[in-house]
Amino acid sequence: MATAFEFKIEAESGGARAGVLSTPHGAVKTPCFMPVGTRATVKTLSPRDLEEAGAGIILANAYHLYFRPGAEIIASAGGLHRFMSWDGPILTDSGGFQVFSLGDTAKIHNDGVSFRSLYDGSEHFFTPESATRLQEQLGADIIMCFDECVPAGAGRDYLVESVKRTADWAARCREAQSREDQLLMGIVQGGVDLELRRESADRTLELDFGGYAIGGLSVGEERPRTLEAMRFTAELLPWGRPRYFMGLGDPDGVLDAIAAGIDMFDCVLPTRTARNGRAYTSEGQLNLRNAAFAEADGPLEPGCGCYACSTFSRAYLRHLITQKEILGLHLLSLHNVTFLLDLVRRARAAIIAGRFAEFLSTDPAIPKGRK
């Protein structure tokens, strides 16, 4: 692990863990949810909003920042932390998921991937080395290897090739890294094929990364197979290194990940759900476009301390959403992010108290369908 980082596990309850990851920009209490700030901003939320909501770390997207405004501009501004006025830890992904999501416009080579920009159609080429340099320019605390994210339903022959390619690229990322103040995390791939998951984990662990991510899930496969692959892979990862599940942000999924011993997770889902007029609650997701909320006087979630719940009624929030007012998007995003952060915080407290299993069956904010 990089010299500026330390990961300490403070407590365990069943398979769940509570820990602290020290970084150059502060300590992160785990398990933790990382709100996604794709373009150096979590949509509709300011850094002050995120700090007040309890976010300990946020994620930014290297692919999008490469194009707009450009890594050089961010570096000349003092790095991503100063550029976006966020003093806490930041994780950047490598851009691998975004590149491979471009489908037929992306061409995979052993050296890297050629693709066309979704902004202007210009041609570009990402390699493990260039993706690592890009993230070093951005200056995040935690950076990710450049990997191949395979869509759900890919044939086994292709999965075999991608696992080998991801491992080869991970070694090249490891070799290319030049900054000791950034934690580089390896990524385990293999789809829902458990044999390939084991092979990918073995090859990635050989490189001795400071942390390990479970990638290539939550990309369209059936939820039970996702959970099976997640639990299986988590058990293969070192006990004393942080574990990160990429692309998970619904309350049920987060609880499943924590139970499996995952320490970190991220997703655009809380803010995307808000932009679709939906709110996370202990009743499940509420669709505020529903006419049933037109005269509902209570808060989105009784007991929630976010500004939306402490100030406004469901009826008013529905009014904002149906009238497409920007304030409505802000308030729902703030609530959804706060709801998820609070859920994880209470889960952490339950782990430390040795009562995580009890927490899953008694906490009032656990979605009722789960209990």
Contact between 182 and 143 under an 8 Å Cβ cutoff? The reply is yes
Say whether 252 is catalytic.
no
Specify the DSSP class assigned to residue 150: P
Q: Which residues contact 143 (CB under 8 A, 6 or more apart)?
A: 91, 92, 94, 132, 135, 136, 177, 182, 183, 184, 185
β-pairing, 183-188 vs 142-144, is parallel
Cα(155)–Cα(9) distance, rounded to whole angstroms?
38
Concatenated DSSP letters for 97-109? HHHHTTGGG-EE-
- Which of the following is catalytic: 49, 93, 141, 256? 93
Q: What is the largest CA-CA distance in the chain?
A: 60
Q: Which long-range contacts (CB under 8 A, 24 or more apart) does 284-287 make?
A: 284/367, 284/368, 284/369, 286/314
Question: Position of tokens 């991220």?
Answer: 266
Cα(338)–Cα(155) distance, rounded to whole angstroms?
39
C-alpha 361: how far from chain center: 25
- Which of the following is catalytic: 141, 193, 266, 342? 266
Cα(152)–Cα(276) distance, rounded to whole angstroms?
25
Q: Smallest Cα–Cα separation from 367: which of 299, 281, 295?
A: 281
Say whether 120 is catalytic.
no
Give the dihedral sign, CA 194/195/197/201.
positive
Q: Which residues of 262-273 are buried (b: 16+ CB within 10 A; e: fewer)?
A: bbbbbbbbbbeb
Instruction: Report, as residue numbers or ranges, the catalytic residues.
Output: 93, 266
